[in-house]
């Protein structure tokens, strides 16, 4: 008999992997909230999953390993997308500021000042 905490762990993991497939930027905040709640729930479930495990639970755990790897990959890809968007926004911000005030940052590389009169 498999414990309910292990079954719940699998359900939460499957839900997380399906949620992380949403790539639309306008839904990103909602997705991040859901992911945060589900990861918190997984932390709570992890405390309930303690040894000793039956043979059936061992086999169930082996089924969970590929699912966990898929989840890790999707979380890393989602994090990379967020970081990329943040860096793009920062570049746009600098570009807009340079366009609005082009003389704000005047570079003096290669400037020669003659001391003679």
Span 21-76, pLDDT tens digits: 988 888 889 999 999 999 999 999 999 888 888 999 999 999 999 999 999 999 99
pLDDT on residue 110 = 62
pLDDT on residue 102 = 65
Residue 113 clears pLDDT 70, i.e. is over it: no
Long-range interactions of 93-96: CB distance < 8 A, separation 24+ = none
Tell whether the torsion through CA atoms of 29, 33, 39 and 43 is positive or negative.
positive
pLDDT on residue 72 = 97
Domain spans of the chain?
A: 4-100
Q: Alpha helices of the chain — where are they, by DSSP H?
A: 4-19, 28-48, 55-100
Torsion of CA 54, 55, 60, 61, to 10 degrees: 80
């Amino acid at each position: 008999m498999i414990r309910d905490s292990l079954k719940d762990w699998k359900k939460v993991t499957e839900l997380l992997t399906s949620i992380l497939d949403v790539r639309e930027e306008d839904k990103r905040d909602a997705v991040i909230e859901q992911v945060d709640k589900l990861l918190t729930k997984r932390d709570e479930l992890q405390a309930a999953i303690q040894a000793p495990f039956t043979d059936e639970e061992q086999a169930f755990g082996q089924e969970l390993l590929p699912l966990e790897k898929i989840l890790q990959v999707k979380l890393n890809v989602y994090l990379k997308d967020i970081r990329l968007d943040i860096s793009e926004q920062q570049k746009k911000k600098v570009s807009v500021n340079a366009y609005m005030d082009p003389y704000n940052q005047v570079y003096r590389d290669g400037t020669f000042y003659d001391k003679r009169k």
